Amino acid sequence: MYSTTTQTHNNSYNILGSEPKLELLKRLQIKRNKKSYSNMLHKYTRTFKIVKKC
């Protein structure tokens, strides 16, 4: 009986513990994507300016 209660408690804790981690990972992924997107945009504008000069 004791082992089953601890197991269910651990399961609920794991579920609670994994949710915020997933959210955090998602946020990190979004941040990374935004960063790469801005870098891409920066590179593009820089090359565009060079092309414009010519």
Mean pLDDT by 10 residues, the chain (54 residues): 53 57 79 83 79 65
Give the separation between CA 41 and CA 48, rounded to whole angstroms: 10
Predicted confidence at residue 27, as pLDDT, reads 82
Identify the domain containing residue 19 by its residue range: 1-54
- Looking at the 3D structure of the chain, how many domains does it have? 1
pTM of the entire structure?
A: 0.36
Residue showing tokens 């300016």: 49
Tokens of 54: 């010519």
